[in-house]
Amino acid sequence: MNQPIKQKSSPIRILIADDHYVVRIGLTAMVNLEPDMQVVAEATDGNQATAMFKKWNPDVTMLDVRMPVKNGIEAAAEIRRQNNQARILMLTALDGDEDIHRAMEAGAAGYVLKDSTEDQLLPAIRAVASGKRWIPEEVAKRLESRRLFEDLTPRELLILNEVVKGLANKQIADVLSISENTVKWHLKNILAKLCVADRAEAVVVAIQRGIIHLSAKT
């Protein structure tokens, strides 16, 4: 009696978005060596990523957090608006807890560090493709630490951005069309929420946590 022929399952179709050429081709080469995976599209920025997702509808979309034009978190949110079943894996250096939180809020199912080994990255892709979440221990610790802090309000974030630029209270007041006393009151709340003693420390902590970015790409 003849045994039924097993049908070969289709490979996991993957979109990789990273503006670093060497990183992107390295990931593509590594993934394409796996018999159960295939890179079907590549993108160099967030806008290309959303366009490529719409064209190819991949099983897994890998997004670098820091990309030009539209960052990975913004691209993830846009892709999830296109398809709320999209499976997204963020690829990045070890960012601050706020970056990680924003990525998860945008709909990412996993978060992989760029220094991950092949033995760490490939299981992450397979896990996300199967509908599971993938949160490495280092990332989980960052998310846990975020619970120790209170969220800044939109107004506080605006003021903090101006502090990062080096503006004095009077200058911030002029830029935002509010009183200098209002700026001082918000700054007091910002320092308390960030658990810091002064403006300089607030800037350092805000950058380390990913609350504020000095540039679109680090």
Taking only the tens place, the pLDDT of each residue in 129-151 is 999 999 988 888 888 878 878 88
Write down which residue in 92, 114, 146 finishes a domain.
146
| pTM of the full structure | 0.77
Concatenating the DSSP letter of every residue in 57-111 gives --SEEEEESS-SSS-HHHHHHHHHHH-TT--EEEEES---HHHHHHHHHTT-SEE
Q: How confident is the model at residue 8 (pLDDT cuts 50, 70, 90)?
A: low
In a domain, 199, yes or no: yes
Sheet holding 110-113, edge to edge: 37-43, 12-17, 60-64, 88-92, 110-113
Comparing 18-22, 113-117, 154-158, the range with the smallest average pLDDT is 113-117
Domain extent, residue 178, equals: 154-209
Final residue in a domain of this structure, among 146, 178, 198: 146
Per the domain annotation, does 54 fall within a domain?
A: yes
Residue 7, in any domain of the structure: no
Mean pLDDT of 81-88: 95
Number of domains in the chain: 2
Please tell me whether residues 196 and 95 are part of one structural domain: no
Residues 81 and 158 in one domain: no
State residue 144's pLDDT score: 83
Q: Tens digit of pLDDT for each residue in 101-114?
A: 889 999 999 998 87
CATH code for position 169: 1.10.10.10
